[in-house]
Structure 1
Amino acid sequence: DMWAMYLQQTTPGDKEDMEAWNVDLDSDLIFAALFSAVLTTFIVESSKSLQPDNSEELLRAILLQVQTSRNGTTVVPAPFKLAPSAVRVNVYWFCSLVISLSAALIAILAKQWLNYLHAGLSPIPATRARYRQFRIEGTQKWRLPSVISFIPIMLHISLLLFFVGLVEFVWPLNEAVAVFTSVLVCAIVTVYFGANIL
């Protein structure tokens, strides 16, 4: 039968593609999950710098009352002021988290599409061949291979934003740590771009 021969020729290639895509998507999902968990820990810490510390504000108010009672004059407390670097760090890290979670969502949707490609296959060769062609055309129409290959790029962008935020985060804390971290990040980014350009 012609349809059975057609399926015999196309099925092994389809299975190889599906397995390769599934392995890639599994790796992307694991990385996105672990990276997002680590990133969230950093965000919890850095987001504290976006609002005043309550204990510090209370201490400032008590100090202000003591100064006022001693001098007999009223002193206006200085308003809370955000450090520009704190804002930038949080912008980098929140954007990184959004991109990483978006990559995970796209990977899940792609895996669902791949599962759909193999679901409900008919035992009748002619029907099975027709469904295969319909699903392959859908895969091409929605550019599934391009979408799958774009997910690692999203994760790389997310990681780069994290690195930029990390360098900015450590500069106010300690200059030696910041210099070492900056050099290490620059080396990693240089190797990454060198490997991808060559």
Structure 2
Amino acid sequence: MADLSLFAAELRRACDTLENLVKTTASAEPEAADNVPSAEDPDATASHIIEADSIPPHDNAPVEDGPKWLNPEPDKSDNAEIWRTYVEEADKHDAALMKRWNEGIDVFLLFTGLFSAILSAFLVLAWPALQPDSSQATSDALAAISQQLLLLSSGLSMNASAAYQTPSFTPPRWALAVNCLWFTSLFVSLLTAVLAMLVKEWLSAYNDGVALVPLERAKQRQMRYDGLIKWNVPSIVSLLPLAIHLAVFLFLLGLVVFAWPVNNGLFALMTLLLFTGLGLYTSSAWLPTVYPSCPYRSP
């Protein structure tokens, strides 16, 4: 019962508070209505109209710009984001390009070294053919001396024409052709290897002494890249394999000529293999021009 009495008292107090609030609101509304100008009071209406006319229209109100972080000014400094982005992307492109060229040149130098060693071994065999055979000259001299001794022992007179004379030597044509082809091949191979080492030094200097400021680095990179294109460095890199291909072809051609005086069957076999390889090489360079999807692409 005590709880019900307390609840009833609180409810009565809340009702009284709500009633007082309603009375206060009702008494404030007539005062607000008295402040509104009526049609019977022209001065008050005019004053309100003037005050309304003094308010600038909405369309002519100045539009404030948003916060500065919504419309940032472009960064025109040397460390601007655009230059940093350019340098990063250019470095990625240049790194991939230099890696591809350097790897190709490394393989090229390895092959050139092996090829030059093999070619030098064959030159050791072909070089003596350009010189007179010393053993044969010794045999001829001994035969002439024996003949002279025989004439002296028989009591016959020996005239000056019977004296031994060293025969003149003319190298065979095949030996001359083989040595010309193989020496030319060795010269082209070594010269191309030297050029390849020079190209590696050029590529190494491409990234030396780079600037630290992004704008200066961008200008420096573009100048160096334009220099690569202007001075045909990509073309030189592409021509290096063609030069060693020429050296290999000269070596194979000399090998065919070298087999000519040895045996006709061996000469025919070497000729057939040479023309077969030459046909395959020519086809691999010609097919991509006719069939764009052909993967047989070479420099």
With normalisation by structure 1, the TM-score equals: 0.93
1:90 aligns to 2:179 (yes or no): yes
What's the CA shift for 1:98? Answer: 0.7
1:74 aligns to 2:154 (yes or no): no
1:102 aligns to 2:191 (yes or no): yes
- The answer (yes or no) to whether the contact 2:259–2:266 under 8 Å persists in 1 is yes
Distance 2:252 2:183 in 1: 13
> Among residues 119, 138, 161, which one is paired with 2:208 in the alignment?
119
Distance 1:35 1:46 in 2: 17
1:129-164 residue CA offsets vs partner (Å, 9 max, x unmatched) = 222122212212221000000011101111110011
- The answer (yes or no) to whether the contact 1:64–1:77 under 8 Å persists in 2 is no
Q: Which amino acid in 2 is paired with 1:110?
A: V
1:46 aligns to 2:126 (yes or no): yes
Taking only aligned residues, the RMSD between alpha carbons, in angstroms, comes to 1.5
Q: Which has the higher contact order (CA 8 A, sep 6+)?
A: 1
Distance 2:165 2:113 in 1: 47
- The answer (yes or no) to whether the contact 2:141–2:164 under 8 Å persists in 1 is no
- Structure number having the greater helix percentage: 1
What's the CA shift for 1:75? Answer: 4.8
Aligned ranges 1:1-198 → 2 under 5 Å: 1=80, 2-71=82-151, 72=158, 73-198=162-287
Q: Which amino acid in 2 is paired with 1:152?
A: P
Q: Which amino acid in 1 is paired with 2:222?
A: Q
Q: Which amino acid in 1 is paired with 2:86?
A: Y
What's the CA shift for 1:9? Answer: 2.4
What's the CA shift for 1:111? Answer: 0.6
With normalisation by structure 2, the TM-score equals: 0.63
Q: Which amino acid in 1 is paired with 2:227?
A: G
What percent of counterpart residues are identical?
A: 33
What's the CA shift for 1:38? Answer: 0.6
1:46-86 residue CA offsets vs partner (Å, 9 max, x unmatched) = 11111112222222211222233335433544211210110
Unaligned runs of 5+ in 1: none
Distance 2:238 2:90 in 1: 22
What's the CA shift for 1:14? Answer: 1.2
Distance 2:272 2:171 in 1: 27
Counterpart of 1:24 in 2: which secondary structure?
helix
Counterpart of 1:122 in 2: which secondary structure?
coil
- The answer (yes or no) to whether the contact 1:32–1:104 under 8 Å persists in 2 is yes
Distance 2:243 2:268 in 1: 27
Distance 1:4 1:137 in 2: 20
What's the CA shift for 1:127? Answer: 2.5
Count of residue pairs brought into register by the alignment: 198
Q: Which amino acid in 1 is paired with 2:276?
A: A
Q: Which runs of 4+ in 1 moved over 4 A?
A: none
What's the CA shift for 1:24? Answer: 1.2
Structure of larger gyration radius: 2
